[in-house]
Amino acid sequence: FNGNNATVKLGMDTVAHKADRDLNVRPLGLFTYLFARDGNHSVIKDLNLTGSAKGASYTGALIGYTNNTGFRIQHVTVTDFTAQGRDVGALVGGIGYGSNLLVTRTDNGVTVTDATFDHITVTSVKVSGTQTGGGLLGRSRATALKVQNVMLRYTIVTGTDYAGGFIGYQGNTVATQSD
C-alpha cells in the first residue's frame, strides 16, 4: 500500500459498540488485520496518521494485529494521536502473537527481516494499554524484528502489566538495531 504521503485522520472506536465489546479479541487499526499471501511481504509506505483509536484489544493507528506475516512499514508518521485498548501501540497493536513464524532469511543474497519498521516518526502521542502499551508496538511474539530510523517525541505510554517506549511487551525475538 502506497499512501502517497496522504494524511488520514482516524476516529475509530469499537468499544462504543456493544457487539464489539462482547468480543474478547477485536483488533483495531487503519488495517485491522495484516496477512501475507503466497509468501509475499506486505509493504505499507508514505502515510501520515492522526486522530484516535479506542479498541477492545490490539489497537494501533496503522495495524491492529498481524500474525506470521512478513511486512515492511516505511516512511510513516503518527502525530497528535490517542490510542486506548488492551494491547496498544502507537503504530501497531499486536504482531505475531501466538506464532514463531517470523524469521530473518536471505533473499537473493540480501538479509530480509520479516518485520521491518523503517523511517517511522511518532510525535505527540498518548498510548494507554490496559495490559501492554508501547510507543511503536503494543505486544509482540515475532521472532525477528528490524527497527531502523525510528523517532519517538513527546509520547506518553502507560500499561497496566507492561509499558515501553518502543515496545510494550516482547517475547521470542532477536531484535536488530541500526543507526
Taking the chain (179 residues) in runs of 10, the rounded mean pLDDT of each run is 96 67 70 73 91 91 81 93 94 70 48 74 95 93 80 93 91 60
Q: Give the DSSP letter string of 33-97.
A: EE--STTPPEEEEEEEEEEEEE-SSSB-SSEEEE-S--EEEEEEEEEEEEEEEEEEESSEEEEST
Q: What are the beta bridge partners of residue 132?
A: 87, 162
Q: What pLDDT, on a 0 to 100 scale, did the predictor assign at position 98?
A: 38
Would you say 127 and 155 are in contact if contact means Cβ atoms under 8 Å apart?
A: yes
CA 116 to chain centre: 11
Would you say 102 and 143 are in contact if contact means Cβ atoms under 8 Å apart?
A: yes
Judged on CB neighbours under 10 Å (0-12, 13-18, 19+), 52 is: middle
Contacts of 80 (CB under 8 A, 6+ apart): 50, 51, 123, 124, 125
Residue 98 identity: G
